[in-house]
Amino acid sequence: METPTAEVRGLSAFRGRPSWEARTGARLLDTAWVIAIYALILRLTDASPIPHRTDIFGLLALGLAWFALQYALFGGTVGQWTWRLSRTDSAKKRIRWLLPNSFFKSELLQEALPSRTSRSTAVFLTLVTFLACGYTLRETYWKHPLLAQADIWDLKAYVPSTPEAQASWRIAPYFFALGAWPKSFDGHPILYSLPYAKGPPTQFIPEIVARWEMPEVKLTIEGPKTPDAIDPEVLRDCLTSHWERTSCLRIREASLLRHVQLARGALGAPKRWKVRWFEVDNPSLPPSDRPRGIFLSAEGRYRSQDRFILITPKGAHQAFVLDRPNGPQGDLARMMFEQAIRSQRVSGELTAGRAWVDRELSATRMDDLLKMEKSDAQFIDKVAEIQSLLLSKISVEPRTFDAYYHLGGTALLLARRASQYNRTPTSQSAVLPGEGSTEWSAVALPMAQSAWRYAKDINPGDPRTAQLEDIWLDTKKF
């Protein structure tokens, strides 16, 4: 019996094997689809674009799944449809979730004498697919901040020198950094919050939030993290070099991937990214104590996020994150944020920060708050100052119980003053934002709860822990 060389279906005929142009075009087009889908999955899942060995298996699995799905639903692939190819058994059941054994024995055939129009259409669709694939790869890989070459950004040191500047900035240590931070922003006193997460007494608190203006502008001060034992000089060379070694790609991923994912989570799909290696030139400090590290900026449609990731002499990473709106208000916040970073001193030890904050706390009296009955503005400024000192103390010594206890007490006083402000606003309150009391209440309750929960982790048997729980319950009443 002769082997059939053609299968006739109505007016269409399939004869023999397809030309090498048709086979190559169909395979290239199908491959481009698989690569584009894989890159799109990486982009949608916010996965790292830096290649790993496991990516080969993922790509192969996706290719097989995409191939099988197309045959199960349509009896052929996009490439085969574009180049007018079909298998001899394609007229059988088209919707199959398991390919029959006859599929692997079937022969790929092409329409006899394809016209010039059909060939031109196939070439055009293949080129368009390749352009779309190239665009997806560009957006996923070439424009990803993990693969961008960082500029070197030299900054001058900032010191509040005028009396006005000194009055509007305060010195505070946060973890391994010690420098100046603004007391107010755009006429609003800066209040703080302390989100709770398991950590102390054996680890640093995860973060401190300075609310420059609720809810538009906030600064998040992250606790130190060390992704790997990376020498700062090696990190600098890896970020600022153009052609990457495999080891440098891993260092980039360990240092930046988490920050990129968090920025995308906050902004959605940023329009622009900026990656820089910054160094602050401060002749009054030894080179090891001068601030340096990674600056990562993401700009969204309406909001932006700036991250200064300080690298300590021992390789720990400490990030300061500013969330701000686009526009004049955001530009002002960015400028003040940059000034604060330029004023910092970075150390590999906590001793300098502990000594400074202990000296400041020894000269601070909580009774001063109780004496401020007339001026809401002075009261809020004093609360912010004391809470800033207490949070500084916690950042350099997370197991200190007294700081959490006093944080709960200041939160209760703040909630009471907010309640009084709502009932009987004073003439001095005119200098405060119109919704100031709402902001105070929004800060006081979470602060009291976090102080109690942290104190319970540190010393649940201390009688003051029960008092802190009562303070939190009292705060909920206002």
CATH number at residue 310: 3.40.1000.10
Question: Quick one: tokens of 341?
Answer: 């970073």
Question: Quick one: tokens of 126?
Answer: 């293949």
What proportion of the chain, given as a percentage, has pLDDT over 90?
A: 42
> How many domains does the chain divide into?
3
Same domain, 56 and 84: yes
Same domain, 394 and 443: yes
Report pLDDT for 88.
58
Q: In this model, does residue 60 exceed pLDDT 70?
A: yes
Which domain-ending residue is among 143, 173, 198? 143
Report pLDDT for 107.
61
- Judge whether 10 lies within some domain: yes
Report the distance separating Cα 76 and Cα 476, nearest Å.
65
Report the distance separating Cα 421 and Cα 438, nearest Å.
10
In which band, very low, low, confident or very high, does the pLDDT at 437 lie, cut at 50, 70 and 90?
low
Overall average pLDDT of the 75-92 stretch: 72
In which band, very low, low, confident or very high, does the pLDDT at 424 lie, cut at 50, 70 and 90?
low
Same domain, 124 and 220: no
Instruction: Give the total residue count for the chain.
Output: 478
Type and span of the H or E element at 385: helix 376-396
Same domain, 260 and 190: yes
Q: Greater confidence, 1 or 111?
A: 111
Same domain, 186 and 262: yes
Please name which of 439, 447, 384 lies closest in space to residue 412, comparing C-alpha atoms. Answer: 447
173, 344 Cβ separation under 8 angstroms: no
- Judge whether 240 lies within some domain: yes
R_g over Cα of the chain: 31
Overall average pLDDT of the 116-127 stretch: 85
Asked whether the CA dihedral 413, 419, 424, 429 is positive or negative, the reply is: positive
Same domain, 388 and 457: yes
Q: Which domain holds residue 372?
A: 353-478
Report pLDDT for 290.
94
Residue 467 burial class via C-beta count within 10 angstroms: exposed 0-12, middle 13-18, buried 19 and up: middle
Mean pLDDT over all residues of the chain? Answer: 83
Which domain-ending residue is among 86, 116, 143? 143
Strand, helix or coil at 373? Answer: coil
Overall average pLDDT of the 264-268 stretch: 89
Same domain, 372 and 337: no
- Judge whether 205 lies within some domain: yes
- Judge whether 1 lies within some domain: no
Q: Greater confidence, 72 or 409?
A: 409
- Judge whether 443 lies within some domain: yes
Same domain, 203 and 266: yes
- Judge whether 410 lies within some domain: yes
Report the distance separating Cα 336 and Cα 330, nearest Å.
10
Q: How many CB atoms lie within 10 A of CB 431?
A: 13
Same domain, 15 and 135: yes
Q: In this model, does residue 3 exceed pLDDT 80?
A: no
Report pLDDT for 357.
93
Q: In this model, does residue 467 exceed pLDDT 80?
A: yes
Q: In this model, does residue 94 exceed pLDDT 80?
A: no
Type and span of the H or E element at 345: strand 345-346
In which band, very low, low, confident or very high, does the pLDDT at 104 lie, cut at 50, 70 and 90?
very low
Same domain, 477 and 390: yes
Overall average pLDDT of the 316-331 stretch: 95
Residues 6+ apart with CB under 8 A from 114: 22, 84
Which domain-ending residue is among 349, 374, 389? 349
- Judge whether 103 lies within some domain: yes
Report the distance separating Cα 41 and Cα 307, nearest Å.
26
Same domain, 156 and 185: yes
Global confidence as pTM: 0.82
Same domain, 310 and 441: no
- Judge whether 229 lies within some domain: yes
Report the distance separating Cα 321 and Cα 342, nearest Å.
15
